[in-house]
C-alpha cells in the first residue's frame, strides 16, 4: 500500500466498522502483493467531500 497515492494504480475507498470494507481490503491487499501494483486505501470519514459522495456506498474500488 502506498501512503500518498502518487504511485497507486488502485484506490479503495473504505470506512471504519465496515465489514465489507474489511473484506475488500484483504482481497485488494492479496492481489496487490501478487501483481506488484500499489494501492491506496482511503478512509472516507477523514474527507467530508468523500463522505458526502460515497456515504453508505463503500467499499468502492477505483
- The CATH number linked to 33 is 3.40.30.10
| 4: in domain | no
Beta partners for residue 11, in sequence order: 40
Report how many domains make up the chain: 1
Q: Work out the angle at residue 35's Cα, subtended by the Cα atoms of residues 27 and 7, and round it to the nearest 5 degrees.
A: 95
| 38: in domain | yes
| 3: in domain | no
Quote the pTM value: 0.85
- Residue 37, pLDDT above cutoff 80: yes
How much is the pLDDT for 5?
A: 53
Q: What is the pLDDT of residues 1-28, one digit of tens each?
A: 545 555 778 899 999 999 999 999 999 9
Half-sphere exposure of 34 (CA within 13 A, CB side): 6
| 2: in domain | no
Q: Tell which residue, 3, 6, 21, 33, has the closest CA to residue 61.
A: 21
- Structural domain that includes position 44: 10-61
How much is the pLDDT for 6?
A: 58
Amino acid at each position: 500500500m502506498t501512503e500518498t497515492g502518487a504511485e497507486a494504480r488502485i484506490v479503495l475507498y473504505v470506512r471504519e466498522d465496515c465489514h465489507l470494507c474489511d473484506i475488500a481490503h484483504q482481497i485488494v491487499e492479496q492481489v496487490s502483493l501478487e501483481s506488484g501494483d500499489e494501492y491506496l486505501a482511503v478512509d472516507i470519514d477523514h474527507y467530508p467531500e468523500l463522505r458526502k459522495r460515497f456515504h453508505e456506498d463503500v467499499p468502492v474500488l477505483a
